[in-house]
Structure 1
Amino acid sequence: MKFPIPGQPVRGSKTGKPIMALLDLLGRSWAMGIIWYLNEGPGTFRKIQEYSESISPTTLNKRIKELTAAGLIERTVDGYALTTQGQELYRLMEPLGLWARGWAKGFNDEL
């Protein structure tokens, strides 16, 4: 399985700078959505798929494998859950999400 690894070429960086490898991983369809959802607690494959609405089982399976290999999620008795690193990443992303809502209001006052 191929996922972005720091030190190896990734989208946007021939040298694979760690931040670029992370952004490549998080920029893949539904990767951030899965992390956002799992912040609420563990979820089964089916629950994550329901949350993600239009994600295909193939894509969801691929993202779960990538996020697991990257050490951000893990399989538990209750389903998939964020690892300690995944929880830390969410805490770092949460202020960015709040900032993005304010930024978006400049484009559409209804957001």
Structure 2
Amino acid sequence: MTTPLPGQPVRGSSSGRPIMALLDLLGRRWSLRVLWELNQGPTTFRELQARCEGLSPSVLNTRLGELRQALLVENGDAGYRLTDDGAELVRRCLPLAEWAANWADRLPTPEK
């Protein structure tokens, strides 16, 4: 599978529109979690895998490769970190996280 990028057909759309490429990239298993964890600061591959409990090394390697190709993540001396574009994307997701927390508070508590 190739990294979804603007100007190319992606899953669910052949238009090449940037929003469709972004939604395909972020909709891939673990992509959002990796970005969210990297928002806490630079980290090594192993530390990142530990933060994302249950994430296999092969899937993490694939996601990091895609996120690096999309210029959202980079690998430097301190480990993997968000690029400026990656950090901006996460900042723009924060209102969605706030909405989700408020929504969760309004839902009935699940019965066990």
Residue equivalent to 1:29:
29
Shift of 1:109: 4.0
Moved over 6 A (4+): none
Residues 105 and 11 from structure 1, CA distance in 2 versus in 1: closer, same or farther, beyond 3 angstroms? farther
**Percent identity, aligned pairs only?**
52
Most deviating of 47-56 and 5-14 = 5-14
Residue equivalent to 1:18:
18
Amino acid at match of 1:64: L
Shift of 1:104: 3.0
RMSD over equivalenced CA pairs, Å: 1.5
Which structure has the bigger radius of gyration? Answer: 2
Amino acid at match of 2:95: P
Tell me how many residue pairs correspond in the alignment.
110
Most deviating of 80-89 and 92-101 = 92-101
TM score, norm. by length of structure 1 = 0.92
Q: Unaligned stretches of 5+ in structure 1?
A: none
TM score, norm. by length of structure 2 = 0.91
Please list, as runs of the form range in 1=range in 2, the aligned pairs for 1:27-106 lying within 5 A after superposition: 27-106=27-106
